[in-house]
């Protein structure tokens, strides 16, 4: 017994045990993977389950922008595309009609193979001809009509500003399914045609007042960014990825 005890407590045995522990640690995951591969290759050679996350922003029922992880690709990369919003809003050859309502239906499709939670960031702002943001012009005059609020989409009032709107889809979005619309139309408020700046100049005893439209020659911009995160461990995943505390219970998301 003493011999056994002495052998166990000897430094050589301890070092050997440590090396063995490290070896087991390193090979444990490989062993699991090999076992899984062997199992499926024997019985389900054509049925390999992929855990690919992917999300698509849809405009008027058509895919516009997406980013899907593709494990089938040789290098395991992302299949992604960024479309141009509003590009089909006007009939060909027609100018924008201030005050008219244009169809702008936006929703989100889970284009991955795993369930997910999604949120949408919408930005509205004005830019000059050089693309510089004009912060003195009102985003409120770009009236993107949000729909299905409270029931399906939750407005994050803490994170929203006149320029940015943050919406959380309140339910789990299952693979292959589409959310209800979060926007359905766009109107440029006719107030843009009444806002002017007057410049007064005096010359030879005459005063001339020149009136220019504040919104003439500027562009309105709308951006939509969809974020998606895995279903598993969603509360921590959302906190880690988006920095927002949420509560998820029975596949229903609520803001904290």
Partner 1 sequence: MKKNTMILAALAVALTLTAGVGSAWAYFTTYAEARGSYTLDLGDKTTVSENFSDWTKHVSIASDADSEPVYIRVKAFCGSEYNLVYSDTTGKWTPGEDGYYYYSDIVKGGESTDILDIKIENVPEGMEDASSFNVVVIYESTPVRYREDGTPYADWSAKLNSSRVEGGV
Selected from 190, 245, 252, 254, the binder of partner 1 by CB under 8 A is 190
| Count of residues in contact with partner 1, rule CB under 8 A | 83
Measured CA to CA, the distance from residue 211 to residue 75 in angstroms comes to 60
Selected from 197, 204, 206, 256, the binder of partner 1 by CB under 8 A is 197
Cβ atoms of 226 and 119 within 8 Å: the answer is yes
Task: Verify binding: residue 166, partner 1, rule CB under 8 A.
Answer: no
Selected from 61, 93, 205, 217, the binder of partner 1 by CB under 8 A is 217
Task: Verify binding: residue 146, partner 1, rule CB under 8 A.
Answer: no
Contact set for partner 1, span 110-129 (CB under 8 A)? 112, 114, 116, 127
Task: Convert 176-187 to b/e letters by CB count within 10 Å (16 or more is b).
Answer: eeebebbbbbbb
Selected from 42, 49, 75, 95, the binder of partner 1 by CB under 8 A is 95
Task: Verify binding: residue 201, partner 1, rule CB under 8 A.
Answer: yes
Nearest to 161 by CA among 129, 124, 194, 195: 124
The single residue listed with the structure tokens 């045990």 is 17
Q: Return the range that interacts with partner 1 (CB under 8 A); candidates 14-22, 41-49, 146-154, 159-167.
A: 14-22
Selected from 98, 147, 155, 178, the binder of partner 1 by CB under 8 A is 98
Selected from 48, 50, 73, 100, the binder of partner 1 by CB under 8 A is 100
Q: Return the range that interacts with partner 1 (CB under 8 A); candidates 151-159, 171-179, 192-200, 247-255.
A: 192-200
Task: Verify binding: residue 27, partner 1, rule CB under 8 A.
Answer: no
Selected from 211, 243, 249, 256, the binder of partner 1 by CB under 8 A is 211
Interaction pattern, residues 169-188, with partner 1; x per rule: CB under 8 A: ------------------xx
Contact set for partner 1, span 232-251 (CB under 8 A)? 233, 236-237, 240-241
The sign of the torsion formed by the CA atoms of 8, 10, 16, 18 equals positive
Q: CA-CA distances (angstroms) from residue 152 to 75, 123, 143, 148, 233?
A: 37, 20, 20, 6, 21
Q: Minimal distance in Å, beta carbon 196 to partner 1?
A: 5
SS3 per residue for 107-134: EEEECCCCCEEEEEEEEEEEECCCCCEC
Task: Convert 73-106 to b/e letters by CB count within 10 Å (16 or more is b).
Answer: eeeeeeeeeeeebeeeeeeeeeeeeeeeeeebeb
Q: Return the range that interacts with partner 1 (CB under 8 A); candidates 83-91, 152-160, 174-182, 247-255.
A: 83-91
Measured CA to CA, the distance from residue 89 to residue 74 in angstroms comes to 38
Selected from 155, 178, 221, 255, the binder of partner 1 by CB under 8 A is 221
Q: Minimal distance in Å, beta carbon 170 to partner 1?
A: 19
Measured CA to CA, the distance from residue 152 to residue 120 in angstroms comes to 12
């Amino acid at each position: 017994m003493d011999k056994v005890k002495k052998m166990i407590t000897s430094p050589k045995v301890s070092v050997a045990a440590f090396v063995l522990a490290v070896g087991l640690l390193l090979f444990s995951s490989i062993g699991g993977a090999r076992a899984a591969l062997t199992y499926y290759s024997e019985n389900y050679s054509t049925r390999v389950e992929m855990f690919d996350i992917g999300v698509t922003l849809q405009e008027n029922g058509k895919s516009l922008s997406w980013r899907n992880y593709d494990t089938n690709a040789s290098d395991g990369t992302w299949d992604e595309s960024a479309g141009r919003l509003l590009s089909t809003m006007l009939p060909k050859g027609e100018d924008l009609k201030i005050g008219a309502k244009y169809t702008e239906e936006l929703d989100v499709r889970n284009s991955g193979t795993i369930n997910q939670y999604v949120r949408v960031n919408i930005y509205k702002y004005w830019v000059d001809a050089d693309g510089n943001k004009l912060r003195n012009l009102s985003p409120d005059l770009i009236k993107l009509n949000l729909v299905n609020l409270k029931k399906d989409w939750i407005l994050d009032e803490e994170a929203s500003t006149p320029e940015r709107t943050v919406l959380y889809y309140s339910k789990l979005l299952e693979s292959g399914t589409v959310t209800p619309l979060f926007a359905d139309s766009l109107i440029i408020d006719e107030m843009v045609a009444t806002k002017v700046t007057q410049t007064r100049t005096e010359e030879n005893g005459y005063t001339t007042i020149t009136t220019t439209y504040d919104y003439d020659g500027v562009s309105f911009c709308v951006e939509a960014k969809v974020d998606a995160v895995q279903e598993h461990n969603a509360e921590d995943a959302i906190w880690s990825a988006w920095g927002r505390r949420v509560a998820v219970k029975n596949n229903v998301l609520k803001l904290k």
